[in-house]
Structure 1
Amino acid sequence: MPFADELINGHTAHTLTQAVRTVLPDADPASLRAAAQQLDSLSLRERSDLLRDALLADVPGDYAELARVVRAAHAGVPAFTGWLIWPVTSAIATKAVAEGTDDAFDDAMTLLAALTGRLTSEFAIRVLLRHDVDRALRIIADWTASPDSDVRRLASEGTRPYLPWAIRVPALIARSGVTVPVLDVLYRDESEYVRRSVANHLNDLSRDQADLVVATARGWLADPAPPPDGSYAMDCARSSSAVTPAPLNCSASLRRPSRSADRCSIGSPFRSAGACASPRRSATRGTRRRGCRSTTWCTTTRRTAPRAPRRSNSRPARWPRARRSR
């Protein structure tokens, strides 16, 4: 199993290079070839940024040209999936913001929604949110009604205030409750994949806005209408401290009790990529899974059976006292 930083590697760069050459036979993706030799010493996000810049250098022209190449690769190159989607979506968002037009912005949002099922567009959408948060949120509000669960999840995950590995969007942190309308629509979504994202989003909000989260959760619990699958479970516990309330611990809220809760919070695209790309803790061992480098633990763990104590040959911390001789 690879470490998290190795999920974007030389093979990823080579696959992206071949996809560009398939769509643009006369192009010479020299920047992507050079970037493939420079990945080893970089972190995961730095690797994505390097391939993003190389792609922008190898596909000249305006935003429309880049969008055309990406759509052609999406439709005609089967290997155009997996971790190369991160730098591709980042390039789309960066180019749209650089162009500075509403048409480019709106088309980039549409293209990110189309690509999110190939891995995720949650990191790239942050660039557009930072550029124009109000316009982005209006489009995201429409995504909550999408028939595609990946797009609905993107509406919640992409707007998390403290999304791991992603750039911060100051407006999402400063403007209290700006994303709650999105959660109000999705918290009883028929997909557990979406509901887990809502739980993680709510937990992010609790860092700075604990009272808002308590009020939101209380309103959800007071709604007598059942969720689409017939039942849900919510576990939000608040610290009893009256001086400095601790963040809420919202586990996989609104999930079906019959299904296993021990899953990566970021979701199935990351699990299928060969490593736990989400902050995750093993419920039976209490340790990090190999490949996870985040300091935030996923709260959706489930304890199964008590583990037998480990045998140790080391010297005990304290030896029993010797008896006194009479």
Structure 2
Amino acid sequence: MAEPLKNLLHPGLVKEMAEHVSRAAPDFDADRFTRLATDGMAALELMQRAERIKDALVQTLPADYAAAAKILRRALPQEEGPGLSGWALLPVNQFVAQQGLQHFDLSLALLKALTPHFTAEFGIRRFIHAEQDRALAEISGWTTDPDHHVRRLASEGTRPRLPWAMRLPALVRNPAPVLPILVALLDDPEDYVRRSVANSLNDIAKDHPALVADFVERHIEGASAERRQLLRHASRTLLKKGDAKALANFGFVAARGIGAALTLAAPAIVFGDKLGFSIVVTNADAAPQRLMIDYAIHHVKANGTLAPKVFKWKQLDLSAGASQTIGKDHAIRAITTRRYYPGKHRIEILINGTVCAAADFDLHMA
């Protein structure tokens, strides 16, 4: 079984944090910090542990924020040796977000310095929420920074619906102020940055599908393979929902005369096994068609209702009058993002966003 996420923050890491901060500030009370940060830690989840460590920093660093920020910056990795990095910087994000709002420019500079060693996407959002125009004006300049971690922060930190982080309601309502940042990074040389741009656009598509479909249309003509891949990933939610404009952006139209015969390998499976299925796709139209084939599993929830999850599958070009058989084994196993319940589930086959076949299957828990 996978290690619980909460163990990313543990007493040993707290001790290392105390050592790094003590090197930056010899009078830092490392013992008190360690005691406060680890008190009751075993019973806390990841973000609760981060909050506990942040509170310990508040109680042991100087009350003068400028002095505390200077210590934290010195405690980051330097040319002469290691320093605060990795998950140890999650509570530092929280410290800056809580304590530094009245020191706007100083805090943004600290978060920019921090992000190459972890990420500042969690800390920066409170500043965007507090003074959006001021924050975005500074962040926009990071799109040309030589450090790709800083460039990624410009797109990741401004995502309207960043997972695990506070939502940015103003950007959920109107994402237009973020679009120039995303445009500036469309052709970034680092895939790490481009994936972040795609995720931000996908966030926006959940609230403004037409805006993102139009954005993709404007930027896909003459696009490089890398940009095209970014725009496809940015459109994934729209494509799964069968959005006509999004499908058209990638050469798909409403399927005509397409049939799909679905066969399950077994009508029931045991949790931990694989759901085997195959389809025979037939094009009865007089013209060849480009098909995007996905499938949706409707999982049973705790209350007995079904909730669909769409999975990408295959793309193919099918000649007029032709048929093709394709198969898949879908694992039904433990994952951190879903809890399974026994009962009658459903699978649907989607071709160019339209359900073309479906079948039920029973899931038994071992």
Using structure 1 for the length normalisation, give the TM-score: 0.70
Task: Give SS of 2:40's match.
Answer: coil
Does residue 60 (structure 1) correspond to residue 59 (structure 2)? The answer is no
Corresponding residue for residue 125 of structure 2: 126
CA distance in 1, matches of 2:115, 2:91: 12
1:110-155 residue CA offsets vs partner (Å, 9 max, x unmatched): 1111111111111111121122111110011000111111001101
Q: Larger deviation: 170-179 or 47-56?
A: 170-179
1:170-191 residue CA offsets vs partner (Å, 9 max, x unmatched): 2221224221111111121111
Does residue 49 (structure 1) correspond to residue 48 (structure 2)? The answer is no
Q: Larger deviation: 67-76 or 46-55?
A: 67-76
Corresponding residue for residue 72 of structure 1: 74
CA distance in 2, matches of 1:147, 1:73: 22
Query: Which of 69, 84, 93 matches 1:89?
Result: 93
CA distance in 1, matches of 2:54, 2:25: 17
Task: Give SS of 2:100's match.
Answer: helix
Paired letter, 1:42: L
Paired letter, 2:138: I
State the shift of 1:169 in Å. 1.8
CA distance in 1, matches of 2:192, 2:85: 20
Paired letter, 1:209: H
1:15-43 residue CA offsets vs partner (Å, 9 max, x unmatched): 11222222222232414422213222222
Q: Give the conservation status (yes or no) of the 8 Å contact 1:160–1:201.
A: yes
CA distance in 1, matches of 2:99, 2:331: 43
CA distance in 1, matches of 2:333, 2:216: 29
Paired letter, 1:95: Q
Paired letter, 1:12: L
Query: Which of 33, 36, 43 matches 1:34?
Result: 36
Q: Larger deviation: 134-143 or 230-239?
A: 230-239
1:140–1:226 CA distance, 2 compared to 1 (3 A): same
CA distance in 1, matches of 2:73, 2:216: 40
Q: After superposition, where does 1:262-281 map in structure 2 within 5 Å?
A: none
State the shift of 1:61 in Å. 2.5
Gaps of 5+ in 1: 250-280, 296-315, 318-326
Paired letter, 1:191: E
State the shift of 1:286 in Å. 4.5
Q: After superposition, where does 1:1-326 map in structure 2 within 5 Å?
A: 1-29=2-30, 30-74=32-76, 75=78, 78-97=82-101, 100=102, 104-222=103-221, 224=222, 226=224, 232=229, 234-235=231-232, 236=235, 238=238, 286=331, 292-293=336-337
CA distance in 2, matches of 1:176, 1:23: 40
CA distance in 2, matches of 1:178, 1:51: 34
1:145–1:53 CA distance, 2 compared to 1 (3 A): same
CA distance in 2, matches of 1:14, 1:247: 54
Q: Give the conservation status (yes or no) of the 8 Å contact 2:125–2:168.
A: yes
1:234-262 residue CA offsets vs partner (Å, 9 max, x unmatched): 423636979xx69979xxxxxxxxxxxxx
Paired letter, 2:51: D
Paired letter, 1:41: A
CA distance in 2, matches of 1:247, 1:32: 55
CA distance in 1, matches of 2:200, 2:245: 12
Q: Give the conservation status (yes or no) of the 8 Å contact 1:122–1:157.
A: yes
RMSD: 3.3
Task: Give SS of 1:67's match.
Answer: helix
1:61-91 residue CA offsets vs partner (Å, 9 max, x unmatched): 2221111101211136514211011111221
Paired letter, 1:44: L
1:248–1:7 CA distance, 2 compared to 1 (3 A): farther
Gaps of 5+ in 2: 248-310, 314-328, 340-362
Using structure 2 for the length normalisation, give the TM-score: 0.63
Q: Give the conservation status (yes or no) of the 8 Å contact 1:157–1:197.
A: yes
Q: Which has the larger radius of gyration?
A: 2
Task: Give SS of 1:130's match.
Answer: helix
Paired letter, 1:220: H
Q: Give the conservation status (yes or no) of the 8 Å contact 2:186–2:227.
A: no
Q: How many residues align?
A: 257
State the shift of 1:156 in Å. 0.6
Q: Larger deviation: 32-41 or 81-90?
A: 32-41
